[in-house]
Structure 1
Amino acid sequence: MYAPPPHLGLDIVYQDDTLLIVNKPSGLLSVPGRGDGKHDCMASRVQAEYADALIVHRLDMETSGLLVFARGAAAHRALSYAFQSRAVDKRYVAVVDGALAASSGEIDQPLICDWPNRPLQKIDHEIGKPSLTRYKVLHRDQEACTTRLELEPITGRSHQLRVHMLSLGHAILGDMLYASDAVQKKASRLLLHACYLSVPHPVTGKAIAATSAADF
């Protein structure tokens, strides 16, 4: 059952006449979901205050952090192209199970939807789409046997960070889709947060950078 967090007001990180960057809380859909009772989402909350706002990309419901909205159709076209052409720099912070041996690295594993089990994604070297994630260790907690990471998705596949970390044997804590029961129980939510985003301004082209600290 969908139980979105209470609406305590928009957490706006950046705004002007053509661009909004807001913080999405964990547990809130980016856009309305299918079925009754799933209208409350980040898009509807933003549009209640900014009628011209159009969402440019999405975060998983369980993921928190920075989300971009365009104000008006022209800005939406420009920002959508920036995301499609990989002119946007995105970073996430995550806490994963276990201690990663390497301090940094790349995960180059092709992904595709696991149709019989959708919305799950899976690695498929025959028909999967190219998918690349870079990671850097921020801290290893020996007592808890967890690792805090900075993740940089070079591509933007669905569930990319979650599946790529799982492929290394280090599922993200609180991941109700991919982690084992024990790893799910290590956190009350998915410990994945969009903490940094740099996007070319839809009018000036100047890079607009926004940051957001994780609450975990």
Structure 2
Amino acid sequence: MRPELAPFASVCDGVAQLFQPFVEVVLHDLETETAVHIAGNFSKREIGEPSLLNEIDFRPTERILGPYEKVNWDGRRIKSISIILRDMAGRPIAVLCINADVSHFHAVMQALSAFASVPVDHDRPASLFKEDWHERINEYVRNWTTSRGLIVATLSREQKQQLVRDLSADGAFGGRNAATYISRVLSMGRATVYKYLNQERSEAE
């Protein structure tokens, strides 16, 4: 390795150690067009191999290439970026390539997506949800807040009052202990829930 490239080798080692085992860093010498340093090697490349910079459409006038996607020898998906290194006169002398193995993260994303999704051809069992007023209240509150761009935890007193009235109009208080459950959902006392209901009835009269 040429002396002027030696400091960059330490940068390669540091980046690879910080993100191991997911990152490989390769330093290419533009003078010899070979790989002169490899840290965190998972591509099975070797020191002295041809750099093959044409694979990343290298142009000497550029400073940063990417990010772009590659495929490792074993089929893993690699996210890469290449940095053009220059001397004090601005002449390109090397290319530092950072290769991140993102296959593990894609696998995690797919697993989470599969776990969180519900098959479209599977309806909720009618026997389970027919009398589940808890579920009906939960869905009503979710739809009510979502349609208004709100979240339950930050509802104002006036918004809670309106929600209680709307729940009442929809028959949500027909279930046994429904008022108690609604008070817990809205983080308010049961007496306050009844107060809002009584106000609604008084106004109706």
Which category of TM-score, normalised to the shorter sequence, fits these structures? under 0.3
Who wins on radius of gyration, i.e. which is larger?
A: 2
User: Which has the larger share of helix?
Assistant: 2
User: Which has the larger share of strand?
Assistant: 1
Higher relative contact order (CA 8 A, sep 6+): 1
